[in-house]
Amino acid sequence: MFHLMRMGRRAFASKLALSVLALSTALASPVLAAGKTITAVMHSDLRIIDPIFTTAYITRDHGYMVYDTLITTDANFKIQPQMADWKISDDKLTYTFTLRDGLKWHDGTPVTAEDCVASLKRWAAVDGMGQKLMDFTASIEATDAKTITLKLKEPYGLVLESIGKPSSRVPFMMPKRLAETPPDKQIPEQIGSGPFKFVQGEFQPGVKAVYEKNPDYVPRKEPASWTAGGKVVKVDRVEWITMPDPQTAVNALQSGDIDFMEVPPWDLLPVLEGNPDLKVETLNKFGYQTLGRMNFLYPPFDNPKIRRAALLAMNQKDVLDALVGNPKYYKICGAFFICDTPFATDVGSESLVKGNGMAEAKKLLAESGYDGTPVVVMVPGDVVTLKAQPTVAVQLLREAGFKVDAQATDWQTVVSRRASQKPPKEGGWNMFFTNWVSADVSNPISNLSIGGQGKKGGWFGWAEDAKIEQLKNDFVHAASLDDQKKIATEIQKEAYDQVIYIPLGQYLAPSAWRKSLSGVLDGPATPVFWNIDKSE
């Protein structure tokens, strides 16, 4: 009886929250939307809306709604044309991309090659694969209104894979006037050429984001496949509603107040699977890697011995049990480049996967000269897939002898704060935790966290490691897959020796939606809302 009463109160709370939200929306907008609307609760609320400024996945998901890409990746990992087709010269040094007809920005102006060149340059300045591509690029220019010509200094086998990458940071195309914004500053408006338009007037950061069908979008003729093919929009609006309490969101999904929930809690999946009105399915079949990242710029983690002590204190099983719970949905794996892939190796991972490093962690920390400097760990409490890792890590670090300052926050604050290079005492940080889709980290070039570029051009944490950068160059010059595998193993060994980051295992995250939705697509990274229809 108590359980039923408790569930009743939760359902009431869900209804109340939705009623308040509906009322606030009605008051904010004089005309209520007509037609088909999909209401979704995503894995995080949306605050940063520049998809080049951050690697946050919710911002990438927003990017796919508003923007489009020159080329992209289908469900067979093949690169396919999207905004453009391409040709490659016989000497493999010149790539020519030709824009297809009918492309318009959301403000009605035509898409030009100059826009796309500026977009590629902005993306390449901050993305790992883009930076490496530019190392091999002699020039990239608009040779006429519809033609982009990229010339290489020497052949490079990852040109198309870089420009067609499906996940963060995605080389989205935007007008030149926006693309000329420095990548460390956010663009001032959201004008893309994608299948949806962003409704700026209804955007309430942390509450709601709204997208409307772009009537001028001309889809490709091919069937939709991952982020490739025809992006046919079959509804009028998509609304992303923020519900920080997952139980409230689950109740809203079951009652029909929302249509789609990207990441339900794993412990509630049996409840959803038992509801005949719902479908539960893993859209990203390749899953995620979860990890911890330290700040190399300030004590105590500017000391490799102290970083090593923190690594030894970690235990993948403890983290995954707290995060997921059900072994059906997780995998203990110490491979930086994802288990069961060509570049997987267990070199250096023993303590993490066996969970037997605590005694050595205590010993090493005592020998390291650690002076009790507090470790500032950012702990977001509003995202199901991101709150367990730092909570467990804080406990393990304290057990090893670290003094830890665990700072509760929300994920979007972490996304903003992790970009700060200020000292921890001035609003900076020492450690945060995040997740990558497997497609993002499956090789040394796409894996942004493995870089060693330091303060200029490096990923948050700013690890500096010339050996890793040299090995990455060796990787792209390798003559065979076997040679690449050997180099990937060397990179992993160096990454563990220097504790570039701490891989904490892999997991799957099923989504759930009402059966009134049809045409929901699998994807390598993101839920997409084209191809989905909704029956009344």
- The per-residue pLDDT for 273 is 96
Q: Buried b vs exposed e over 95-134: b needs ≥16 C-beta within 10 Å?
A: bbbbbeeebebbeeeebbbbbbbbbbbbbbebbbbbbbbe
Determine if residue 282 is left, alpha or beta; phi over 0 gives left, psi from -120 to 50 gives alpha, anything else beta. beta
On the question of pLDDT at 90 being above 60, the answer is yes
29 band by pLDDT with thresholds 50, 70 and 90? very low
Is the torsion defined by CA of 387, 389, 392, 396 positive or negative?
A: negative
Average pLDDT over residues 164-192: 95
Indicate the pTM of the whole model: 0.86
Q: Write the DSSP string, 295-329.
A: -TTSTTTTSHHHHHHHHHH--HHHHHHHHT--GGG
Give the whole-number percent of the chain exceeding pLDDT 90: 85
The pLDDT of residue 249: 96
3-state secondary structure 386-430: CCHHHHHHHHHHHHHCCCEEEEEECHHHHHHHCCCCCCHHHCCCC
Distance of CA 421 to the CA centre of its chain: 21
CA–CA separation, 173 and 118 (whole Å): 9
Q: Is the pLDDT of residue 358 over 80?
A: yes
Give phi and psi for 426, each to the nearest 5: -115, 25
Which of 111, 70, 98 shows the shortest CA–CA distance to 193?
111
Q: Which of 61-70, 120-129, 451-460, 510-519 has the lowest mean pLDDT?
A: 451-460
For 393, the token pair is 């890590």
Contact 468, 495 (CB under 8 A): yes
Rounded distance between C-alpha atoms, residue 370 and residue 430, angstroms = 14
Q: How far apart are CA 79 and CA 97, in angstroms?
A: 13
Residue that the structure tokens 């670090």 belong to: 397
Separation between Cα atoms, residue 284 and residue 510, nearest integer Å: 8
Q: What is the percentage of the chain residues whose pLDDT exceeds 70?
A: 94
**Domains of the chain, each with CATH number or no CATH:** 2-52+201-279+512-534 (3.40.190.10), 66-179 (3.90.76.10), 288-507 (3.10.105.10)
- Cβ atoms of 190 and 202 within 8 Å: the answer is no
Mean of pLDDT values over 67-93: 95
Say whether pLDDT at 258 is over 80: yes
**Residue 120 parent element (H or E):** helix 113-124
CB within 8 Å of 83: residues ≥ 6 apart: 68, 69, 70, 71, 99, 100, 103, 111, 116, 173, 193
Q: With 60 as the cut, is the pLDDT of residue 4 above it?
A: no
The two three-digit tokens of residue 336, written as one number: 């930086």
Asked if pLDDT for residue 11 goes beyond 90, the answer is no
The answer, yes or no, to whether residue 399 has pLDDT greater than 70, is yes
Please name which of 126, 128, 141, 115 lies closest in space to residue 185, comparing C-alpha atoms. 126
Across the range 73-100, mean pLDDT stands at 95
Contact 320, 504 (CB under 8 A): yes
Q: What is the pLDDT of residue 501?
A: 98
Give the 3-state secondary structure of residue 505.
strand
Residue 15 has pLDDT above 80, yes or no: no
Residue 512 has pLDDT above 70, yes or no: yes
By the 8 A CB rule, do 41 and 17 touch? no
CA 219 to chain centre: 25
What order do you get walking across the sheet with 147-152 strand by strand?
A: 84-88, 94-99, 147-152, 137-144
The pLDDT value given to residue 130: 95
**What is the tens place of the pLDDT at every residue in 401-420?**
999 999 999 999 999 999 99
User: Cα dist. 42→243, 312, 356 in Å?
Assistant: 9, 34, 36
Residue 5: predicted pLDDT: 32
Is 183 within 8 Å of 52 (Cβ atoms)? yes
The whole-number average pLDDT for the span 16-41 is 57
Q: What is the pLDDT of residue 34?
A: 59
The 3-state DSSP class for residue 270 equals: helix
Higher pLDDT, 141 or 440: 141
Distance in angstroms between the alpha carbons of the first and the last residue of the chain: 35
Confidence of residue 536 (pLDDT cuts 50, 70, 90): confident
| Whole-number Å distance between alpha carbons of 499 and 324 | 25
Residue carrying the six token digits 């049996």: 270
pLDDT score at 456: 82
The residue-averaged pLDDT of 214-233 equals 96
Which candidate, 40, 31, 28, places its Cα nearest to that of 196?
40
pLDDT digits (tens, 9 = 90+) for 130-147: 999 999 999 999 999 999
Spatial distance between the Cα atoms of 129 and 123, rounded to a whole number of angstroms: 10
Residues facing residue 110 across a β-bridge = 104
pLDDT at 321 > cutoff 70: yes
Three-point CA angle 235, 241, 247, nearest 5°: 120
Q: Give the three-state DSSP class for 519.
A: coil
Determine phi and psi for 38, rounding to 5 degrees: -95, 125
More confident site: 376 or 12: 376
What pLDDT was estimated at residue 526? 75
Assign 341 to helix, strand or coil. Answer: coil
pLDDT recorded at residue 67: 98
Given the DSSP bridges, would you call strands 260-261 and 37-41 parallel, antiparallel or unpaired?
parallel
Q: What is the helix, strand, coil percentage profile of the chain, to 5?
A: 35, 20, 45
> Which residues sit opposite 68 in a β-bridge?
173
